[in-house]
Amino acid sequence: MMMHENFSPEAVVTISDLFTNLPALTSDRLVLRQLHSKDAQDYYEIFSDDEVTRYYDVDTMTSIEQARALIDRHDAHYRNRVSIRYALELKETGKVIGTIGLYNFKEAESVEIGFDLNRRYWKQGYMTEAIKRIIDFTFQNLRIYTVYGGFLKANTASENLMKRLGFKKGKVADDVEIKPGVFETVYFYRLDGEHTGE
């Protein structure tokens, strides 16, 4: 299904608006829209892969029920105005090939992103394209001028992605318990935008 953006490029979107009716965003090859339970099969495909979960705080999935359960959790977080999960849908086929989460919103200040991509779609620039769109939306419409990306130190694919997008290395958190009894070093990269608002 082809979707169009339903707001003007310069519209101010409040965090409250986001949690009332999540706007769809479009880029060259993708539609970014809310992740739904109907995406469980595609979501399962992403997370039933040890390479994707290697540096991620989700265990490799072995059944589609686990994908449904995680989507339900994302839904609950959305209803409770805690976080958002955008699905990255290929314009051409409608397949969901990845997701981007937005959380730790600080009004007029900062937001954190998390991301995952089906391994079959790595190395084709899809995540770079999707995060660029999210950043433009964050700076121009949400008027939030700092975006953080946190990931494990060993996750070089994520570090390269952040650098490619112009993020700079910020805080380093040692000994973060990412799974019960598992402690790792987490890097936070940050991107600071120009204040475009009046």
The CB-of-158 to ligand COA minimum distance in angstroms stands at 4
Cα angle for residues 138, 141, 143 (degrees, 5° grid): 65
Burial 105-143 (b: 16+ CB within 10 A, else e): beeeebbbbbbbbbeebeeeebbeebbbbbbebbbbbbb
The CB-of-134 to ligand COA minimum distance in angstroms stands at 12
Report if residue 40 touches ligand COA, rule: CB under 6 A: no
Report if residue 122 touches ligand COA, rule: CB under 6 A: yes
The nearer residue to ligand COA, 18 or 97, going by C-beta atoms, is 97
Report if residue 117 touches ligand COA, rule: CB under 6 A: yes
Report if residue 158 touches ligand COA, rule: CB under 6 A: yes
Site for ligand COA (CB under 6 A): which residue of 155, 167, 184, 191?
155
Place of tokens 């059944």: 63
Distance CA 85, CA 69 (A): 14
Provide the 8-state DSSP code for 92: T
Q: Which residues bind ligand COA (CB under 6 A)?
A: 52, 55-56, 114-117, 122-128, 151, 155, 157-158, 160-161
